[in-house]
Structure 1
Amino acid sequence: MSIQGVHKILVEVTDLQRAKTFWSEIAGFEVTTDVPYDDQGNRWVELTSPDGTVFVLNVVPEVGRGSRPELPTAGYFFYADDVERTYRELSAKGVDFPAKPEKQPWGWWAMFTDSEGNRFALQQRE
């Protein structure tokens, strides 16, 4: 038997409620699980993207910042059919993009920051 794919993606956050609001109300993901899981008040929160990818919000004391500010701190890229349109839509909702979308050898892409300071790549599906 072999590995068959990615099941869930863990996203580091410092403020669970703020991150949950960002990913559900701004990014458009659906909250599919939000339950307590221990006796210390921690919660297990999962959000599902429109394509079915499941994100688990993981509370940590500090979110990693990475050593190269021109690169994402998260180890995965989001995709969109039209990066420039998605950039305009999310910017209008207050999402921080360090720079406008640009064409690179691997295609159109942009980088955005979530409510917790994580940097994510957004690449156009070719």
Structure 2
Amino acid sequence: MAHMEIALKDMMMLDGALGAAVVDYGSGMALATLGGSKTLDMNVAAAGNTEVVRAKLRTMEQLGINEELEDVLITLNNQYHLIRPTRGRRSEGLFLYLALDKSRGNLALARHRLKDIENELEI
């Protein structure tokens, strides 16, 4: 089981990683962040992406979709933003957030690695 700091370091080891966070989507607060830049404030991104997760979960409920949300992908001109809600009993109500440089990152590998990190995460 990995703690948040290890999870963040593992996310940042991915090629093209720009920033990573573990976020409580109940409060919208980042519990821990790593990376980011002047143009990518990880705390602002955490709060904003909380609204994305809440909206998607609410829409799924309204549609009667009884499946789990695996991840959300936001594609920008130069970046990928991955959001992966956690499902472990020790980390329920959280999501992993990863921003990747599109030219250096491998989206398939990042999705696979986030799944592994989620499974190892212990809060």
Give the alignment's TM-score, normalised by structure 2.
0.30
Give the strand-richer structure, 1 or 2: 1
Which fold has the larger relative contact order, with Cα–Cα distance below 8 Å and residues 6 or more apart in sequence?
A: 2
Determine which structure has more spread, i.e. the larger CA radius of gyration.
Answer: 1
Q: What TM-score comes out, normalization by structure 1 length?
A: 0.29
